[in-house]
Structures are given as structure tokens and as C-alpha cells.
Amino acid sequence: MIRARGLVKRFGDFTAVDGIDLEVAPGEAFGFLGPNGAGKSSTMRMIGCVSTPTAGELRILDMDPVREGPSIRARLGVCPQTDNLDPDLTVFENLTTYARYFGIPRAEGRRRAAELLEFVQLTEKSGSTVEPLSGGMKRRLSIARAMINEPDLVLLDEPTTGLDPQARHLLWERLFRLKQRGVTLVLTTHYMDEAEQLCDRLVVMDAGKIVAEGSPRHLIETYSTREVVELRFGDDAPATYVEKLAGIGERLDPLPDRLLLYSADGDAAVNEVHRRGFTPSSVLVRRSTLEDVFLILTGRTLVD
């Protein structure tokens, strides 16, 4: 579906995407994970054929995005990061009008619009304008709009950013159904749980480069340990314990409020902490998540 080799995007002196290679297979749910400014959206825009690569090779649906943009876009569904629904039109017309841009006949456009509104549970809002809809509803409408041309490939740029938990879960469930229908999904996110829920495979991007690639499970196994122990020590700064606990587990990571101890066996590590005579005020042994991988790979500095 997508093949990139040494793909680069520069804006003046700034390099947003710095030579990435990737391959997305049909039917796959593929994720770009990374902090803000990592180059995820720039990559998505190149895949969406609205931004020309500065260098490198990019093939989408086995076509050239620069020369065959309209033909590629005819088979893409794009759900942008910020909703750009049409405020002058009703919910239903947003879909039927969009269908016309793809050259879908009116009657067929109306049929699909009704079906899609059913799918995203917005049928009763059909005649409303867009403005009074909640954030979650707007997002669902954007996804319905992205599906109007029955695309082979759907691009979702941060599909659930800014939504409340109920709205996110409903959206995930709908996206999962799309995946079951065999639609190829490519999404960006900075939510680890979203990536774990939806993606078969993902790449972690940082500063325009791909720093890791694989399934969520594979990434956790490769870059983190099976378990993580979170230790808190009352008022003491966690960093002061790094030396005292050295040698326990595979890695120690002090955060401002707690110390993370990466270990294959969390309970054994906790026993060792106690044996050395330390009594943390709280102890939590948990399985390692993608979040741990993400923090290990991209560091803890806030990028904004």
C-alpha cells in the first residue's frame, strides 16, 4: 500500500522528516507514534499527496504521489488532525457534498451518507448543522466523511486527541470494525494505549527519524523489560536512590515523583530492595507498556 525509501521533508532549514523507510501492507493497521514535532503529521501529509517530498522515494497504492495525486486521493480516506467539516452545511450534506468531490453520483452519495451516519451513530443528527455537535461527534463525522469513497487506505491523524474516554472508546470500536472489514489504517498518535489497541505494527518517530519499529508486543520485549516496579520514597528525591539500588533489575529511571525499576521479575526486585534495608512508601509492580518503551526511546524532555 505504502512504500517509502529515504523519505525527507524539509521546510526551509528545518528538517521535519529525516530519511525514513517504511512499508505498509494491505489490511494492516499501522501506527506512527512519537512526541509532538517528531514528523508524524508531515509524513501523513506526504502520504495524503498534499505535500511534496523534498527527497527520497514514495509510492502509494503503487502510484507516484506527485504525478498521480488525484488518482491516489480518489482511493484514500483522510481524517485530519483538526476537523475541517463544512459549517455551512448540515451533517448529511457534509457527506453528500464530499461525495460529489469524488465524482460519486448524487443518489449513490445519499445512500452512502445514510449508511455511514448509521455506522458512526449520528443518524439522528443528520439534519443538524456541524457547529453544535460535540468533539466526539465531529470526529465521528470526519471519519464517516473519510469513508464516503469506500477507500482502500484510511489516514487518521491523531484520531482521538482531545476526546473524553467514552468518545475515545466508541471511536476505537468503530475503527476496529473498519479494520475487520479489511480497510488498511494508518494513524498517528501520542497515546500509547491507542497504539496498543489499534495497531498491528508501528514505528516510533523522534526528531524526524524512525527510532524503533515492530508490533507493540515486540517493541515492549525489545526495548523494555517484562515488568516495571514503581517505587515512591516519601519526601526523598527518587534520584538519591539510584546509587543505593544499583544492580537491581536491568535499568533504573528516576522521575521527579517516583523511581522506575525495569526488571523481568518485579516481585524478586522488590524483595531485593527490602533486603537492602529500604522501605519505600509505596510499591507498584506492573507489566511493561508501550509507554515505557516510548519514554525509553524518546527521552523525557517535553517537546513543544
Partner 1 sequence: MVTTYAVARVARGNRLSPARVGAVINRNVGALRSGPAYWLVLASGFFEPVLYLLSIGVGVGALVGDLTLNDGEVLPYANFVAPAMLAVSAMSGALAETTFNFFFKFKYVKTYDAMLATPLRPMEIAAGELTWAMIRGSLYTGAFLIVMVALGLTTPGWALLAFPATWLVGLAFGAVGMAVSTFIRGWQDFDLISTGQFALFLFSGTFSPVQDYPLPVEILIAITPLYHAVELIRGITTGMFSWSMLGNVAYLLAMLAVGLYVASRRLTSVLCR
List contacts with partner 1 (CB under 8 A): 11, 45, 48, 50-52, 67, 69-71, 73-74, 76, 78, 80, 82, 84-90, 93, 97-98, 100-103, 129, 149
d(CA 153, CA 26): 8
Length of the chain: 304
Contact present, 139 and 159 (Cβ < 8 Å): yes
Q: What share of the chain is helix, strand, coil (3-state, %, to 5)?
A: 35, 25, 35
Strand blocks (E) in the chain = 2-11, 14-24, 29-33, 55-60, 76-79, 153-157, 184-189, 201-206, 209-214, 227-232, 251-254, 259-263, 282-287
Shorter beta-carbon distance to partner 1: residue 34 or 80? 80
DSSP state of 74: T
Shorter beta-carbon distance to partner 1: residue 149 or 184? 149
Helix (H, G, I), strand (E, B) or coil at 53: coil
Shorter beta-carbon distance to partner 1: residue 95 or 205? 95
Handedness of CA 98, 151, 178, 167 (dihedral sign): negative
Please report how close the Cβ of residue 101 comes to partner 1 at its closest, in angstroms.
Answer: 4
Shorter beta-carbon distance to partner 1: residue 102 or 172? 102
C-alpha cell at 299: 527521552
DSSP state of 180: H
**Enclosing H/E stretch for 135:** helix 135-146
Please report how close the Cβ of residue 25 comes to partner 1 at its closest, in angstroms.
Answer: 23
Longest dimension (CA), the chain: 76
